Structures are given as structure tokens and as C-alpha cells.
Chains A and B, each alone.
Chain A
């Protein structure tokens, strides 16, 4: 199980994947808004999305898990 975490505190703009999607290292899987800027969150591993833990509008802190990959 691998976690994709928020790289800084911010608000989730979009989660770009769904459960069951194949993700490759380097894919942008989510967009955060932080400090009035759009921060792309990339996966650093390959995997299949097993759980989405945050949604549009959620405030997340640095290190919070956004997506779980198998």
C-alpha cells in the first residue's frame, strides 16, 4: 500500500483519478490550491488507486494522505 500525500497545507481543488485507475510514477493525480497558487500533486510510484481520502474543497495539511494506491 502506498500513500500519496499533500506536499503542503492547502485546499483540494480536484482529485484527478478514481478508484481502480492505473497510476504511473510522475502522473499528476490531484490539484491543491495553496497560497493562491495551484499545486499539482504527482504520484512518485506506480499503482492502482484503491481509496480516495480527500475531495474538492477539503482543507488538508502537509503530509495528509490524499490517495491510497495498491
Chain B
């Protein structure tokens, strides 16, 4: 959908909750754009609701009944006369049917078009598209594996270990490492069932597992006129069970030469699919600095503040401008980076068993440390319920260099107090004093030892 240049958006509905809803509202306020927030019964006391200009109860606690209820969201937008919907991340942000519905109802979807969302959401097709565009991809099965035998043949050709993945998966969900034929045979059916139940699509494929690699992604931005830029990379290798825990920019272990090749490949990839708005190309980088396409995320990512910190740019503002029909605010040569930023995701989980730990944030206090940004959807007294993801807050530490960012983070976590539920705070204090993290030479295997 093409928007005439000069059409200034007056009102946006945010189809999300908590931390990201607050973040989007904040930029909208600065741009003098009216906001409509939506909330489920579980979230009625959260701070973001009062920060929006209007708020609509969207449904019962389970996500399918509220934040993923497409008709309810569109009705709310129409009722409040919002012109555009910002989907945030997760929920419906990468659901092509929702993108289509938004547009069919005369609203602007703040993101790429349905065709691209659908293409990149099919991980098998995404790989083929990237290959055709000359972007290196992780060696894998040619197309989907429709049976255990097909998966095992593909795995044998690639060599174990392999990652068994759901084509409709992504974001670390729907994948399992298989070290040999037995593991793959055992995993295939249960993963396929899970894919069918969870994503509504049973297609599976296999990729070579690159262990001890680094997960490094590139932020790109495109406008409707075909301009594409990159905003450097983020190293997201610190993960547990494929869920990111810490992200930083620049990547402490990437050579400038590889950075240049990866950012160029990412721009090439975005151009090849006719991308528009914010996107992230995820790569895995092996020990020889060979890099391979993993997937493309057609939305704003949780860890975008790390990029904002080093570039001084507001990515939500860029999203709104592009969705309004404007061209990209800067050319590539005008985009520079300074210093270092690291984001820590504070999760409501037991630091030993890693089981989720919902509850009430009886105490939630943190110091003001220069260079620290805290993005949170909760306040003291808020309930962290079991219906959504376990993230309580993002803590982004910035400095002139990595050491300064690390020092500031350590000072912050030394004084942050959370009571009423368990969090992974102990992990941060441990990592910030461990040489394996401090020297920046870690890989995706860092938290496997936990």
C-alpha cells in the first residue's frame, strides 16, 4: 500500500502490550501522534494503558483471545478512528493474514507488506529467496522434509549434528538440535506435531548445526522508494534454549572486513525481496568468520534499543515515517555509530531451574546510573502473569567503549532489587564478572554450560 508523501499520521493503535507498547507510545508522544492502547483482563493495571491517549479492553487474558484477536483489534482501530496499527513484536507482527486484514480495512500496517511477511515467515522459502539473491545460507535440506526418512537422508548428506526446524517457526521456537540419526528420528514426529499445533503448519526442514557459532544480526531499513540502508549489527549469541538473553553492538568479535560483507549482504537481501520498513537479517557466523543466513525478521526486534544507543536514532520514529510515505531520513553515509551498548533481558524465571516464575512484583527498584536505559512494562506492584512472555524489563547499558558499558551494567545490577518473583538477575552479575563474557569472545555455547 502506497501512502502519499506528506500525509502525517494522526493516530496509531498499538496492537501489543507492556514494554513495547510503552516504547511506541513514547515516540508517538514526541511526534504529537495520538495513541490507542489495547489491554487484556490480565493487563488492566499496567502503566502503558494510562500513558496512551485512549485505551480499549481487547479481551480475556489468553493471547488468542486478546492481543491476537484480529477482528477485535481492527474493530478497536476503526472505532477509535486510528489510521494505522503498530504491531510491536511477537503476537501478530509477522502474521500475513493480519497485515492483509489491516489493509483491507483501509488502515496502514506499520511494517512491510503481506507478501514479504508471508515469504520471510516461510523459512524454507526464505532460504531459497536468499540463495537466489546471492546471500550465503546455512547448508540445509533442499526444501521441506516430509517424513522421518527424508529428514534423515538430508541430515546424512549434511553431516550431523543438524538442527531440525519448523518452516513456520522462528524466533527460537520450533527447533531442536539432533546429534545423530536416532535423535533425529525420535524428534521428528513430536516436533512436527508441535509445529502443527503451535504454528498451524507441519512443514519441517533440516539445517547443518553450527555449534560454537555467533548469532549476529543486521538491522536494515527500507522505504517505499527502494532505498535500503543498514544500521550495523547486533551480537545476540548469549542465548538459552534459543531465547536471547543479552545482545550488544558492535559485535566484540567481528572483524571490520566481515562486518562490511555482512551489512552489504543484508542490504542486498532486503533489496532482493522488495522490503519496506524495519527488518533484521539474522546470520550465524562460524569460527572462521564465514557467515550464513538464518532467517529474516520482518518486524522491529526486542533488542532494537542497542542499535538506537550506538546510532543515536529512534527506530520507531523511522518506522512511522516510512509507513507515512516518507523516504528514509538518512542516507547510508550519514549513518554512523559511536561507543558500545549492551542489552540485558530481565526474565521472570527461576535462575536455577529456568522454569517461569510469574507473580507480583512486590519490590521493583533500580538506581539511576548514567548511560543506562530501562524499558519495562511493569511497575512496583504489577502482576507478571503466565499468559505472555516472561520478560520484565530490558536494561540497556551504553558507554564510550565496551568496558564502560560493562562497568555501568555491573553498578546497575548491584543495586537493582526485585522481590515477589524470581529473576535471572544472578546470571547477569555472574556473567559481568566472568572472563568468558568480559573478553567478548563468547559463542552461542556460553549458556549451555548453565
Contact = CB atoms under 8 A, between A and B. Distances in A.
Given A8-B356, A9-B387, A10-B386, A36 B196 contact: no
B198 A37 contact: no
Contacts, number: 52
Given A12-B197, A35-B349, A37-B355, 15 more contacts: A8-B358, A9-B61, A9-B62, A11-B198, A13-B197, A13-B198, A14-B193, A14-B194, A34-B386, A36-B173, A36-B390, A56-B193, A56-B197, A57-B196, A59-B64
Q: Is the interface of B mostly helix, strand, loop or mixed?
A: loop
Nearest to B171: A36
A10 B387 CA distance: 7
A56 B356 contact: no
Interface residues of B, number: 24
9 contacts: A8-B358, A9-B61, A11-B197, A33-B198, A35-B348, A37-B390, A39-B355, A39-B356, A56-B196
**Which of A9, A37, A56 has the most C-beta atoms of chain B within 10 angstroms of its own C-beta?**
A37
Interface string A50-70: 000000110100100000000
B214 to A, nearest CB: 22
A34 to B, nearest CB: 5
Nearest to B61: A9
Q: Is the interface of A mostly helix, strand, loop or mixed?
A: strand
A9 B386 contact: yes
Interface string A1-24: 000000011111110000000000
Interface in B343-392: 348-349, 354-356, 358, 385-390
Pairs A-B, 10 closest by C-beta atoms:
A57-B197, A56-B197, A35-B356, A35-B390, A9-B386, A8-B386, A36-B389, A59-B62, A37-B356, A13-B194
Contacts of A59: 62, 64
B386 A62 contact: yes
Nearest to B388: A35
A35 B357 CA distance: 9
Nearest to B348: A35
A2 to B, nearest CB: 23
B190 interface: yes
B243 interface: yes
Interface string B30-62: 000000000000000000000000000000011
A35 B386 contact: yes
